[in-house]
Structure formats: C-alpha cells, structure tokens
Structure 1
C-alpha cells in the first residue's frame, strides 16, 4: 500500500486525491483546516432563502481546455451560464467588459465598430511604449476617461493602493470589444454546476481509499516520511513558518442581506466610484436562473489587506513579495517528494480551470 498526504481540499487537492484513488492500492489522506471541503469554491444552501450561495464569492466555471471541461462534468451537470457583469459609475449603469455599448453610452455616441476602434485609438495613450505600472497599461489600451471611470477607483479599492504602485502585469490584457458582446468571459466552455460546487467535491472525495480529516491544520513539524508523496496547497510562506516574512495578499469580506423578490436584477454589479466603500454586490439567485425563489440573498463585497486570521485571496506580487517568493522557491527545491500545488502554494492568481488542469498534468507526471 502506498500512502499519500494531501493538504487542502480545494480543487488542487480534490483532483489529485480523485486521480490517485483509482489505484485501490493507494491510501490517500486529505486534511483541511476548515470545517468543510471545497476550499473557496464551497457552496451551500442559505437557510433563510434556500438560494445556493457561493460562500467565498462568485465562481463561474469557464475554460478553453476541453480536457478540463470534460473532466469536471464527470462529477456534475454543468448548466450553461453567461456572466453579464454591470458597473455603476456616477449614477449610471454600464456593461462590462468594455464593449461597443459601453463606449457609445459613456461618450454619448452611436459609433459603428470601425468608428469606435478609430476613436479609442485616438484617445489611448499610444506614446506609452512599455507600461511601467497598472495605470500606464490601462491608459495605453483605453485612454484616460475610460480608465478613470471603470478601473481607477475599483482597482484602488480592490488592491488598497494607487494603481501606479501596481505592476503592469496585473493587467496583462484588457478586453475591449468593438461589438455588443457583453459575455464577461471569452472562453468557449462556460457554466455553473446544477447542484453547486460542494457536490462536485463530495463525489471527487467519495472513494473508500480516501480519508478526509477536517478541522485539521497542517504543521510543518509533522513527520512526512511515511508518505510516498505529499501534495501541499496551502500558503507557501506558512509551510516554512514565514522564515523570510509574509507574502502579501488582498482578502475580501462580505455583508449578507436578505430581501423579498429581486434586489438588483443581475448576478454581479461592480461599483467603480472610489467614494463607494465596497467593490461589488453579488446576488446569488441569479447564478441559478433555473431555480425559483421568492426571497433573495445578496452580498456586499469589501476588500482589505490580509491579516493573520484572514483567508488570502489575491496575491499582490509586488517587488518585495517576489524577492521573498524566490527565497521560498529555493527552499521548495531542497525538498523531496513534496509538490506545491494551486494558487496559494505557488503564489499565483489562478482560475478554477487552471488549477484543475495543472493538477491533472502533475498526476500524469508522477504516475
């Protein structure tokens, strides 16, 4: 019998556990310091409204990787879903990402696609050859007015600093569409699991040779010698007891509200004005349009710096962070039979499909 230890029951840990469990000679132990499986993808029914709630914020599954799309559907019925995000700025509601409707509405014009392209090129800061920060990257794409309206305030609230302090790499590519396509994602496969995400993790971890231990916090002092391999999906700095200092993250927290009927008419609405303290409001009944609910529950989302007991969400990856990360990565290279997997252990922002794809690829190499 080969014994494996997996720290964390999010998609990295669950996919690896499910793949290893196919060999009946393997025994897999999954530990998680929370009281539930599924990590930040955990969903549950709201006790007051019966709405399926994404407890740690909205998760719309989207990918261009057919292998990942086919794989996830082994564990759920994925209902097609198009995410249509709106943004409120100075009392007006706009369509996001920026598309022809947004441009025409914002500038009070009725341009055709080619006319809009020429117009945006005329207002973009083309003199910026190599953007040095987030602000310059955005200005190069769309110019000052659209940047100030939809990105400056929102980004400042999201990251807790001036956009000029953020690396340009955060905004690798800014989708601007010169048609009326308001689908937030460009990937061909998009959906939401009919029974929520938690049901996926329950099926992934259902094999008799998988043992799940919740409310169990991993400690670097554990004796790992009995395991054939260890897969760690927690924060990389925590694994090494923060010996080189903490990596910085932004985290989010939510204020829950319940109301009759329909609160905002859309799953996600961003609030771009810097004086509005929250970043967005998500109304979860709209993530399951195939269900009917008389009441609704919605969450107002705020962003802040991650402190000791907070759940880290978005790696900031500032210069100081990257220097510390390099030191931690050198420590990882010294370890034998331990793989660091997923968003926290690699200190990267990753979507669900990236996490699943990398976990599947890793198991192919190990097996």
Structure 2
C-alpha cells in the first residue's frame, strides 16, 4: 500500500504550491529534491544578515491580485522597485529604455526628440520581415539602442551572434517616453521581507520533505511510494532522452563577501561589453534596503549547458520545440503523472506565472 497520495519531484515553486494545495485537500504528500535545500531557484542563503539570492535576482511582480494575495499569506513584501542600470563602454544607462536612457545616449530632453531619433533609425536600419534577433531589434528600437544596450549583452547571454538567434526571442522591446525607471509595469511588486525562504517554508509547513534525493537513482521505489507523481524536472530526462536531449543555457554564479558598505549602489547592474565575462552583478542587500557595514555581490556568468550543469533557459528554437512536442505527447498519455514547471514544460516562467500554473493544475486535479 502506498504511503503517500502524491510524490512531488522538485521543491521549487511549482512543486511547493501544488503540495500546499494538495495538503489543504487532505492529501498526504512527500516532496523530494536533489539539491541540499528546498525552494529551487528562489532559495536564499542568509550570509551575515543579508539574504543572498543564490541563483540570480528574483523580483516578484504581478498584475494578478489573487496571486499577490496568495504569496502574501506567507510573507510580507517590501516596496522594492526594480530599476536596473546598464554599463556600456564605460557609461551608465538606466533601464528599461526611457527618457533617462535617451538623455544619456543623445543628450535630448523631450519625448518628441527621442521619438524622432528612434523612428528615423527604425526607418533607416529596420526590416519589414526580420529574419534574426539583430534585424528584429533594429526594427524595434533602431541602431543606437541596439548597439549600446542589446547586441553584446544578448550575444553573451546566448553564446552566439545575434544574427544566429531567431527573431522571436525579442517579441517586443518596451520604449517609454517618460522619466520612469520602474522595470516592470505590474501593479504589485516587491521582495519578501526576510527572503523567499519564508514563502517556501510556509507552503511546505506540515509536509514531509527530503533533500539530497535524486529521483532517477531510485525511481521505481519512489514511484511505488505514492499513488500519483508530480514531476517538475526535465521532461526529456524523465523519458530517458528517448527523442534526444532538449537544449538549455546555463548560468554560473560567483558570490563574494566584501567588507565595504556599498559596492555599486543598486541591486542589479548589467554589463554589456563582450570583454567583460559576466552579464550582471547583483548586490543583494539593496533588495531589502540593508544597512549592514558589509555587502555580498554575485557575478552572473552565462554558460554553455551540459548534463552536469543546471538548466536555466530553454532554447526555444524550432528544432527543440519539435522535440518537446514529442515528449509532451508522451506525457499526455500518463494517468498518474502530472508534469509542471519550466523544465517539465520546457518553457520560461516568471514566479507569478509558475504559481498560477501550479494553482491551475491543482484546481484541475481536485475539482472532480
């Protein structure tokens, strides 16, 4: 007889939300994760009073009040507004592209002046039917913005020339003709006070959890321990790469403790230039307006992915999408396995989208 109603493979946001909802319905769950901690990529490590986002900057933002209310059950949020800076050829620029950026680029002060320059450059350098990312970007924002703030950063991020990348990677590039550095347009945003671990701990309260457990090393025994499986890992790995490997980009993080009070004056600073290996530096204390006499920074390096490395960004080109659809067809034939999350669905999700997806899957599961 099975001990659990659900075995949840992966203690990231999707798995934790599903486990929480299942437990509310009286189901017994076991959550496992191969890492030595819970929380997946939103995990924070407290280093001398600073909550360090171990797997890159996570800023919660949503327009969905129901999702906002959901996460606020578990933690109070501060009023952090994401206003990244970008360094290109030794100059600092504000993001997203707005009147501050245009003043820094061209010395202009009015929206009409900025619009005139951008429209002229789009007309001169743009393409009616862009065939790659470079052509798409030039068609959206023109030459100056593209060359200063998009080209080299994107090529570092993806490890190839912008002309080799598909146009659909950049569906739109928001251009604002106001002096507004708020990166997100969402009505609700902030950082949980005390870090994301508070939310994860709240979601998993009273639920059996095991870390340092590799599902694939004891797959049959683990499957036999529950009536149903919720799988949030790589879908191709689940099916033993039957149709080949899906591709990803990976990241490497270098954390550094500094005995100075303030390293860069901002939580996130992007580094565009190719001759700088990292794409950005995160200074974690600024997420929670820390006043400590020390600081912790993280340099983020994009890397070519391999099976030994963590998969971060799916490479959603046509070839990978075709392969994923084959795996998805297999998953739809399963009666006792629920696939969810960015790895299982081969899709990039923001945090609010992951939570919404998990809530929807739980609703479907428990509506009958």
Compute the TM-score of the two structures, normalised by the length of structure 2: 0.94
Q: What CA deviation, in whole Å up to 9, does each residue of 1:295-346 have, x standing for no partner?
A: 0111111111112221111111123212211221121122112111011110
Partner Cα separation in structure 2 for residue 178 and residue 265 of structure 1: 25
Aligned counterpart, 2:215: 218
Q: What CA deviation, in whole Å up to 9, does each residue of 1:162-192 have, x standing for no partner?
A: 1122222221121111111101111110010
> Structure 1 residues 88, 262: closer, same or farther in 2, change over 3 A?
same
Aligned counterpart, 2:268: 268
Aligned counterpart, 1:20: 22
Give the drift of 1:2.
Answer: 6.5
Q: Is the 1:87–1:93 Cα contact (8 Å) retained in structure 2?
A: yes
Q: Describe how 1:140-289 pairs up with structure 2 within 5 A.
A: 140-207=139-206, 210-219=207-216, 221-222=219-220, 224=223, 227-259=226-258, 260-289=260-289
Give the drift of 1:277.
Answer: 1.3
Give the drift of 1:225.
Answer: 5.6
Partner Cα separation in structure 1 for residue 131 and residue 337 of structure 2: 36
Partner Cα separation in structure 2 for residue 152 and residue 39 of structure 1: 30
> Structure 1 residues 125, 325: closer, same or farther in 2, change over 3 A?
farther
Q: What CA deviation, in whole Å up to 9, does each residue of 1:208-239 have, x standing for no partner?
A: xx211111111284253663432111011111
Q: Secondary structure at the match of 1:138?
A: helix
Q: Is the 2:4–2:225 Cα contact (8 Å) retained in structure 1?
A: no
Size of the aligned set, in residue pairs, is 360
Q: What CA deviation, in whole Å up to 9, does each residue of 1:22-45 have, x standing for no partner?
A: 133x11111111111000000011
Partner Cα separation in structure 2 for residue 234 and residue 90 of structure 1: 40
Aligned counterpart, 1:87: 86
Q: What CA deviation, in whole Å up to 9, does each residue of 1:88-146 have, x standing for no partner?
A: 01111000111111112102222x11332232111114752232221122111111221
Q: What CA deviation, in whole Å up to 9, does each residue of 1:63-86 have, x standing for no partner?
A: 111111000000001111101100
Partner Cα separation in structure 1 for residue 4 and residue 295 of structure 2: 48
Larger CA deviation: 70-79 vs 1-10: 1-10
Aligned counterpart, 2:127: 128
Partner Cα separation in structure 2 for residue 304 and residue 168 of structure 1: 21
Aligned counterpart, 2:36: 35
Aligned counterpart, 2:6: 4
Partner Cα separation in structure 2 for residue 198 and residue 125 of structure 1: 49
* RMSD, aligned CA: 1.6
Partner Cα separation in structure 2 for residue 361 and residue 2 of structure 1: 22
Q: Secondary structure at the match of 2:174?
A: coil
Partner Cα separation in structure 1 for residue 7 and residue 261 of structure 2: 46
Give the drift of 1:360.
Answer: 0.7
Partner Cα separation in structure 1 for residue 169 and residue 123 of structure 2: 18
The answer as to 2:108 corresponding to 1:104 is: no
Q: What CA deviation, in whole Å up to 9, does each residue of 1:240-259 have, x standing for no partner?
A: 11122211111111222222
> Structure 1 residues 254, 221: closer, same or farther in 2, change over 3 A?
closer
Q: What CA deviation, in whole Å up to 9, does each residue of 1:195-219 have, x standing for no partner?
A: 1111211111112xx2111111112
Q: What CA deviation, in whole Å up to 9, does each residue of 1:2-32 have, x standing for no partner?
A: 71111111110000000111133x1111111
Larger CA deviation: 34-43 vs 229-238: 229-238
Q: Is the 1:285–1:297 Cα contact (8 Å) retained in structure 2?
A: yes
Gaps of 5+ in 2: none
